[in-house]
Amino acid sequence: RGPRPVPGPTRDGDGTPAVHALAPLGTLTAGQLRGVADLADLTGREGTGAPRVTPWRGLVLPLAPAPGDPAPDTGAARAVRVLEATGLITRPDEPWHGVGACTGRPGCGRALADVRADAARVHTRRRDPAALPVHWSGCSRRCGRPRGGPWIDVLAEPDGYRVTLRDADGAPANLPGGSPGGRERTGEPPGAAPPTPPPLPVDGVATALAALARGASP
């Protein structure tokens, strides 16, 4: 698959206006599905108008402009507003864009935390569309972690969270300039075991993410 498309108005392969919407944490609620279904009823065409699920945990909804419609993109803007009202991600700067999480508690027996609920407490502000993906995991398996580029690992431990900048292979990465990009410190001289800082409370994760966004070690 190619790069993740940007949420919002887009064009289908044949130039038809369409909307790309992402489901927060990859989960569609009944209300969101109803909103998509209503829009598909109103705007979809037989065959090509059906909403399509994407590998990026989203939907592409092709919109059929009325014949001779001089402003076919108006329908796309309207559809964006409807989908946004259901809580789907339709703008690249929305708080959930680029944020992922595993199942966590209570759905997974290995989980040390309800990572989805904790992520909801932290990701309340608009995000820089160019910010690195953030992934919350309830244990070291890190199910569903991002692939293909650097990302920020928020890992639940028994006493809190550990925030680490990682490269595409999942190894701890350094920030530009060489400072360690997280609580799992790297780049220390051989033999000099650095003290391991304590895990962070949920509120501390927000501060650590902000520090990484500034290019500083959290």
Binding-site ranges for ligand SF4 (CB under 6 A) = 102-104, 108, 110-111, 137-139, 141-143
Nearer to ligand SF4, 111 or 175 (CB): 111
Half-sphere exposure (Cβ direction) of 16: Cα atoms closer than 13 Å: 20
User: What is the nearest approach in angstroms of ligand SF4 to the Cβ of residue 200?
Assistant: 18
User: What is the nearest approach in angstroms of ligand SF4 to the Cβ of residue 92?
Assistant: 26
Q: Give the residue among 105, 86, 88, 106 at the shortest CA–CA distance from 97.
A: 88
Nearer to ligand SF4, 57 or 110 (CB): 110
- Give ∠ CA 172-173-177 in degrees, rounded to 5: 150
User: What is the nearest approach in angstroms of ligand SF4 to the Cβ of residue 158?
Assistant: 13
User: What is the nearest approach in angstroms of ligand SF4 to the Cβ of residue 140?
Assistant: 7
User: What is the nearest approach in angstroms of ligand SF4 to the Cβ of residue 119?
Assistant: 12
Residue 206 CB coordination number (10 Å): 17
Nearer to ligand SF4, 36 or 102 (CB): 102
Report DSSP state, residue 182: B
Provide the phi-psi class of 134: left if phi over 0, else alpha when psi is between -120 and 50, else beta.
beta
User: What is the nearest approach in angstroms of ligand SF4 to the Cβ of residue 144?
Assistant: 7
Nearer to ligand SF4, 104 or 181 (CB): 104
* CA 48 – CA 69 distance, rounded (Å): 18
* CA 55 – CA 180 distance, rounded (Å): 32
What Å distances lie between residue 63 and 31, 45, 133, CA to CA?
Answer: 20, 8, 29
Is 63 in contact with 17 (CB distance < 8 Å)? Answer: yes
Structure tokens at 127: 């995000």
Nearer to ligand SF4, 89 or 101 (CB): 101
